[in-house]
């Protein structure tokens, strides 16, 4: 009994074009495939019109949300810096109190009487050291207080920017929601139709279709013949024999200039 040969599926290449899938496309009902692709292109073109109505609004909304998140991050960092400075002030105040307390103790010992000049000099030195440490603590307290005031000013400026961005974002959201609401039903129907058309197309052809759509300015991957003799995508001249083949709809005809699939204007 002869062994049944299994078909080896070549992995889909993200760089494939309609030219590279010509052989696999020719397998099966080419007319049906062309119709499904053209239907898909027509639906995608309608969806493109809806998305054009929204213009740059989705990108602007995203940019504002990202900016607000960035500003909130900066505000959090500044607030954390203020908290750290407040902790340092508390530590320096404690250090100052300890130094003053020690200096007072040494002064009390001196006032209580010393037995010799060596002891007097030692106490004087300790008092001087504690006073210097107290002065350093006071200086650090002042520096951190100035730091906090500056950071609070920074925080106020950031908060103001956040409020402005939030107001802009709210306005953009309202504008986008208004446009989206007016086209929501149409978009829903088109997306449902798109799924039906896409389900009729094999993965390799679909990959090539999506790649061509993304790579061309007008997002047209399947173009009807324009003005009876030119590619509807790039407007380049089509050879007479190819025009006959396109009208017959039995072959995959690709524009040699732009790589789009060409179909008859009667495909609709």
**For residue 228, pLDDT beyond 60:** yes
DSSP 216: S
| Cβ-contact 92, 144 below 8 angstroms | yes
Mean pLDDT over all residues of the chain? 89
Secondary structure of 73-135 as H, E, C letters? HHHHHHHHHHHHHHHHHHHHHHHHHHHHHHHHHHHHHHHCCCCCHHHHHHHHHHHHHHHHHHH
Q: What is the pLDDT of residues 26-60, one digit of tens each?
A: 777 888 889 999 999 999 999 999 888 888 899 99
Dihedral sign (CA 257, 259, 260, 261): positive
How large a percentage of the chain has pLDDT more than 90?
62
Dihedral sign (CA 118, 124, 128, 134): positive
> What pLDDT, on a 0 to 100 scale, did the predictor assign at position 235?
93
Q: What is the pLDDT of residues 106-161, one digit of tens each?
A: 888 888 777 788 888 888 899 999 999 999 999 999 999 999 999 999 999 999 99
The predicted model scores a pTM of: 0.59
> What pLDDT, on a 0 to 100 scale, did the predictor assign at position 154?
96
**For residue 8, pLDDT beyond 50:** no
**For residue 14, pLDDT beyond 70:** no
> What pLDDT, on a 0 to 100 scale, did the predictor assign at position 10?
62
What would you measure as the largest C-alpha separation in the chain, in angstroms?
124
> What pLDDT, on a 0 to 100 scale, did the predictor assign at position 249?
87
**Overall average pLDDT of the 206-228 stretch:** 91
| Cβ-contact 169, 69 below 8 angstroms | no
How large a percentage of the chain has pLDDT more than 70?
94
């Amino acid at each position: 009994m002869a062994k049944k040969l299994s078909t080896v599926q070549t992995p889909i290449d993200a760089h494939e074009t309609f030219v590279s899938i010509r052989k696999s496309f020719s397998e099966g009902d080419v007319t049906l495939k062309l119709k499904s692709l053209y239907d898909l292109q027509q639906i995608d073109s309608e969806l493109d019109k809806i998305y054009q109505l929204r213009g740059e609004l989705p990108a602007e909304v995203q940019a504002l949300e990202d900016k607000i998140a960035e500003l909130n991050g900066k505000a959090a960092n500044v607030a954390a810096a203020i908290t750290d400075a407040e902790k340092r002030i508390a530590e320096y105040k404690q250090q100052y109190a300890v130094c003053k307390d020690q200096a007072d103790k040494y002064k009390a010992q001196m006032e209580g009487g010393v037995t010799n000049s060596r002891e007097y000099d030692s106490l004087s030195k300790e008092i001087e050291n504690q006073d210097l440490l107290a002065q350093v603590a006071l200086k650090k307290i002042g520096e951190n207080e100035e730091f906090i005031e500056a950071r609070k000013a920074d925080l106020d400026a950031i908060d103001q920017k956040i409020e402005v961005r939030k107001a802009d974002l709210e306005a953009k959201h309202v504008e986008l929601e208004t446009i989206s609401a007016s086209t929501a039903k149409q978009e829903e129907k088109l997306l449902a139709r798109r799924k039906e058309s896409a389900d009729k197309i094999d993965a390799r052809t679909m990959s090539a279709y999506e790649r061509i759509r993304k790579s061309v300015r007008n997002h047209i991957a399947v173009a009807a013949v324009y003005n009876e003799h030119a590619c509807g995508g790039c407007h380049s001249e089509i050879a007479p024999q190819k025009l006959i083949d396109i009208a017959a709809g039995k072959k995959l005809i690709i524009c040699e200039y732009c790589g789009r699939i060409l179909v008859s204007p009667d495909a609709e």
